[in-house]
Structure formats: structure tokens, C-alpha cells
């Protein structure tokens, strides 16, 4: 459906953003505080699979807070009665920590 306001959906209480056919700019900005020293980051998942290049990682110290961000273009192909190309986006941490001040923006470009 190409109607305005229908291409991007985020149901209340859901952990995912759902997209239908189009080209989207997805940006993420967040603060992350690791519970242990080492690498920690956030990845964008599309239907449960990591999106190449849509990730940010820092090497952190326990208890310190770091700001991380990424931006990516994502194309969602049209669906039909036998193929569901719709995309469910989620953000996943790569290690244990606290994530705060999260801003996930999805803009339909075409």
C-alpha cells in the first residue's frame, strides 16, 4: 500500500518497526553503557537478520557511557500473494549493557 502514513508502522508496545515497499533512510542514535569492559554495540535487524553496515560498536570500559550512531538505506521490494517482502526492523545489542536515549528514525525516500 503506497498511501501516506501506511508504509511505516510501529504498533504501540511493539519492539519492531514494520515497513512495506519503498526505499527508506534508517538512522539510529543511542547512548550505551557496558556492564563489562570490551566491545559493545547495536545492530539493525531486518526480519531477524543483521543488515550489513547498519551497526555501531565501541570498545568500552565498565560503567562508562558512549554515544553511538549509524545510518543506512534500506530497500523493501514489493510483495505479492506468494512472496512477503515486508520488513520488520529491530535493534539488538551485541553485549550486555544499558541502552538509553534511543532515537530510531525511519524516513521513506521513494
Is residue 3 in some structural domain? no
Q: Among residues 70, 69, 68, which one has the least CA distance to residue 32?
A: 68
Assign residue 65 the CATH number of its domain: 2.60.120.40
Residue 31 to residue 90: CA distance in whole angstroms: 17
Q: Give the pTM.
A: 0.86
Is residue 84 in some structural domain? yes
Is residue 1 in some structural domain? no
Instruction: Write out the E strands in 7-85.
Output: 8-9, 17-19, 22-34, 38-46, 49-60, 66-76
Is residue 23 in some structural domain? yes
Q: How confident is the model at residue 1 (pLDDT cuts 50, 70, 90)?
A: very low
Average pLDDT over residues 67-92: 92
Q: What is the dihedral angle through the alpha carbons of 69, 78, 50, 89, rounded to the nearest 10 degrees?
A: 60
Please give the DSSP secondary-structure letter assigned to residue 11: -
φ and ψ of 81, to 5 deg: -65, -20
pLDDT of residue 41 exceeding 70: yes
Question: pLDDT by residue (tens digit) across 42-76?
Answer: 999 999 999 999 999 999 999 999 999 999 999 99
pLDDT of residue 29 exceeding 80: yes
The predicted structure's pLDDT at residue 2 = 44
Into how many domains does the chain fold? 1
Amino acid at each position: 500500500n503506497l498511501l501516506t502514513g501506511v508504509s511505516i508502522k510501529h504498533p504501540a508496545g511493539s519492539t519492531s518497526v514494520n515497513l512495506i515497499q519503498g526505499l527508506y533512510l534508517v538512522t539510529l542514535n543511542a547512548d550505551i553503557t557496558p556492564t563489562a569492559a570490551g566491545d559493545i554495540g547495536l545492530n539493525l535487524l531486518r526480519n531477524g537478520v543483521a543488515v550489513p553496515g547498519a551497526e555501531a560498536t565501541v570498545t568500552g570500559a565498565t560503567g562508562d557511557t558512549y554515544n553511538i550512531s549509524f545510518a543506512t538505506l534500506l530497500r523493501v521490494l514489493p510483495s505479492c500473494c506468494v512472496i512477503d517482502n515486508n520488513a520488520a526492523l529491530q535493534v539488538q545489542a551485541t553485549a550486555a549493557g544499558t541502552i538509553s536515549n534511543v532515537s530510531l528514525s525511519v524516513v521513506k525516500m521513494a
